[in-house]
Homo-oligomer: A and B are copies of this chain.
Amino acid sequence: MTEPRWLDAAQQRDWRAFVDGSVRLTEIMDRDLKSRHGLSVSEYEILVRLSEAPQRQLRMAELAENASQSRSRLSHTCSRLESKGLVKRDSCPNDKRGVYAQLTDQGFTALERAARDHVETVRTYFIDVIEPQDLEAVGRAFAMVLKRLGPTT
């Protein structure tokens, strides 16, 4: 067994700041969206990706990849969104195994409303408290992390 390369004090400080900060941040986003709009962050993410897709629809697998969720989780979440009337599922003509998730008009409206509040929260607790150059660095850093992680399994 090789000796682990421990983090130095600064690396540890930075890593922990990220871990704690991101936990707390997601928590507040979640509570905010849920209390004001009855949506969890992962439901919100799904609506966002769909709203940006052509025809506001995407294949399940593509959507899962896009929203960094497992297919299983997406299936469950989609069922909930469907029962709220925000999304509906259609079978795919070309590939009979395939399913399209489609944002409904009601879903689009709900997203519009939620996004207004959400962006405020993102600003208040993230964008507006971080120095612009640090924000760019955060972007670069996590882009590298994503590259290293590769596509969702």
State the A residues within 8 Å of B (CB).
1, 4-7, 10-11, 13-15, 17-28, 45, 68, 115-116, 119-120, 122-127, 129-131, 133-149, 152
Main SS of chain A's interface residues?
Answer: helix
- Please name the 4 residue pairs, one residue from A and one from B, whose CB atoms are nearest each other, closest first: A14-B139, A21-B142, A137-B137, A17-B142
B145 touches A11 (CB 8 A): no
**CA of A60 to CA of B64 in the docked complex: distance in angstroms?**
38
A145 touches B7 (CB 8 A): no
Shortest CB distance A43–B (Å) = 14
B145 touches A141 (CB 8 A): no
- Given A23-B68, A24-B149, A25-B149, A138 and B139 contact (CB-CB distance below 8 Å): no
- Given A116-B4, A119-B5, A135-B14, A141 and B148 contact (CB-CB distance below 8 Å): no
- Given A123-B5, A138-B14, A145 and B68 contact (CB-CB distance below 8 Å): no
A20 touches B129 (CB 8 A): no
Choose one: B1, B13, B27, B129; the contact of A148 (CB below 8 Å): B129
- Given A22-B22, A140-B131, A119 and B7 contact (CB-CB distance below 8 Å): yes
Give the chain B neighbours of A17 by CB distance below 8 A: 138-139, 141-143, 146
Q: A18-B139, A24-B145, A124-B148 are in contact. List 19 more A-B contacts (CB 8 A).
A: A4-B120, A5-B119, A5-B120, A6-B119, A13-B139, A14-B135, A15-B126, A15-B127, A20-B146, A22-B22, A23-B68, A27-B68, A125-B148, A129-B144, A129-B148, A130-B141, A131-B144, A135-B141, A137-B138
